[in-house]
Amino acid sequence: MHSVRYPHIVTLIGVCMETGKYAMVMEYISLGSLYKILHKDKLQLDWSDRLFIALQTAKGINYLHKLQPPILHCDIKSLNFLLEKSYESFIVKVCDFGLAQTRDETTRQTQLTQALTCTFQWCAPEVLLLKKYTDKSDVYSLGIVYWELAANEIPYGGHQDAVISAFVLRGDRLKIPKATPSSFSALIKECWTANPNDRPNSSQLIELIEKCIKKQSNLIFVALF
């Protein structure tokens, strides 16, 4: 992780390897997690902010996926994206690689060593079924984060893991708010399709979000005139 250097990845500054005092020193990100901003601080974001945040999350994950060997995050959730204020909007950085896995390029898949290691609310259906984790499993989790950006709600509220799992595995999905831009709503649905092969990869996701931003900018321009 120390060798990973990218604007949308939290920088590892150093580590403590003293017996019984293991620790990592990371760069400080002032606003905290996206989860905190959305669900505790209740910060009101306009759609320009939300889409720009979404774009940066995709860029951070895409960087990991494009490394040699590629890295799969395996625990994408709003708690693992940190934000700080910038002049124009926000800067977003991916954090917490505690579950990250190096992918075998011969299969484009990674077998998780534990029975289930992701967080249920953001967990892809194939992972709930204990199948192999792929880069598209990360994309599914991003889709749930994007739903959070649209809904300003915690995924599945206070439902138990077993209820969430049953809901997802029978093909049900969270209700996307009507006020969500149609292009972003369609993107969310693409991210959480049941078949991983039908989901965009992280590079395609960047392109799709950029199109959403362009459409939103055009709508704002028309509204002003």
Tell me, yes or no, whether 164 lies in a domain: yes
Tell me, yes or no, whether 26 lies in a domain: no
Residue 220 pLDDT > 60: no
Query: Measured between alpha carbons, how far is 225 from 217 in angstroms, rounded to an integer?
Result: 13
Active site amino acids: 75
| pLDDT, tens only, 93-127 | 999 865 556 555 444 444 444 456 679 999 999 99
Tell me, yes or no, whether 27 lies in a domain: no
* Domain total in the chain: 1
Q: Which residue reads 């889709």 in tokens?
A: 143
Query: DSSP letters along 173-202, please?
Result: -PPPPTTS-HHHHHHHHHHT-SSGGGS--H
Domain boundaries, position 47: 32-224
State the pLDDT at residue 49: 96
| pLDDT, tens only, 132-168 | 999 999 999 999 999 999 999 999 998 999 999 999 9
Two structure tokens written together for 217: 């900018």
Q: What is the CATH number of the domain that holds 205?
A: 1.10.510.10
